Structure 1
């Protein structure tokens, strides 16, 4: 479900504090949250994760729901009228499944043989705080994917 726009603002009337881009910023910052799937056993390469995240953002912005008259359009326009913030989070297992229920677009991308599949979900922009419960449970810091310069990790083995 898209976020409600602040009652004192319309997409064309953000606050007057300047942003780095020269656009005025909103009193309550908005951002586009992006979740990337993190698999410890078979991680994807960093480049594949970055490409999946970029493709997810483009797919969300190009979706009919983001076009004028679409259900996501007011939120996308409000976000674009201020500073353009994108916040990347990581999600594993259950957390990844939970965030799929939040409005957005998921993109997957296969990497070279031996590497895991990259997956990223771009969410409809909204206030940076508070976040929907499932998204708030994901982690922002400490996510490092392999560069791909080294060999892929060997498959996990279970020993008795």
Structure 2
């Protein structure tokens, strides 16, 4: 089976997250062949009058995927080389930084995509060679208190909105969670596209904390599922397993994306 809508940014993910849907082989390397570590920076707008945690996370999920689906990241676009070099690595990294006022305005001049005036996803590049406007932004201090966003309803249909469910067993700062939901939206879009569905549907993903009951049920399914197919076919979920660089142990499932 072959995909019909996988973009250059999503195609390398398909062999890892939905191998039963594609005819390619997952890359073996954890690092790129050229040895350059690349990451997508997510700049979170955290003004003194801070937005809600849910609003920031939903904007982060949408911004990361929006950049991947942007025509500028396509074969004829100016971002193609940068995005494909990043996406083709064994692990797709994201880093979150916080900004406000003049610093937030400054990063709007750097190539990327802004969603909700809360998060700007920047075109990926080497982690040790970032613009001055980004380097001066802090990575820490991104925590926001939990909020109560209510049911993840769509404006059109209560059942039409995908949801990224955060693990109730893993404590994550907003910065860490932003990176994780960015991974989740990309993974969800990849599986949808590999099935021949519209990957842009994942742009509307809600972000919610999972109940312990649901999480226990999903965790059991994921533990017995070597390639993800059963979890997707039976529960409609695709997991994000963290590489373990910050905050959590390698292999930890931080969230699941649910169609």
- Whether the TM-score (by the shorter chain) exceeds 0.5 is yes
Aligned counterparts of 1:97 and 1:81: Cα–Cα separation in 2: 31
Residue correspondence of structure 1 range 126-137 to structure 2 within 5 A: 126-137=125-136
Q: CA deviation at 1:28?
A: 1.7
In the other structure, the counterpart of 1:49 is 56
Q: CA deviation at 1:56?
A: 0.5
- Report which of the two has the higher share of helix: 2
8 Å contact from structure 1 (residues 24, 81) kept in 2: no
Unmatched 5+ residue regions in structure 2?
A: 1-26, 149-259
1:100 aligns with 2:99: no
Decide which of 73, 87, 96 is 1:88's aligned counterpart.
Answer: 96
| RMSD (CA atoms) | 1.4
Unmatched 5+ residue regions in structure 1?
A: 1-20, 109-117, 150-160
Q: CA deviation at 1:34?
A: 0.6
TM-score, scaled relative to structure 2: 0.44
Change (3 A) 1:134 1:22: same
Q: CA deviation at 1:24?
A: 4.1
Q: Secondary structure at the match of 2:113?
A: strand
8 Å contact from structure 1 (residues 32, 86) kept in 2: yes
Q: Secondary structure at the match of 2:142?
A: coil
In the other structure, the counterpart of 1:10 is none
In the other structure, the counterpart of 2:45 is 37
Change (3 A) 1:143 1:78: same
Aligned counterparts of 1:142 and 1:43: Cα–Cα separation in 2: 12
Q: Secondary structure at the match of 2:96?
A: strand
Aligned counterparts of 1:85 and 1:22: Cα–Cα separation in 2: 16
In the other structure, the counterpart of 2:249 is none
TM-score, scaled relative to structure 1: 0.70
Q: Secondary structure at the match of 1:32?
A: strand
8 Å contact from structure 1 (residues 56, 122) kept in 2: yes
Q: Secondary structure at the match of 2:118?
A: strand
In the other structure, the counterpart of 2:70 is 63
Q: Secondary structure at the match of 1:55?
A: helix
Residue correspondence of structure 1 range 107-118 to structure 2 within 5 A: 107-108=115-116
In the other structure, the counterpart of 2:211 is none
Aligned counterparts of 2:132 and 2:57: Cα–Cα separation in 1: 25
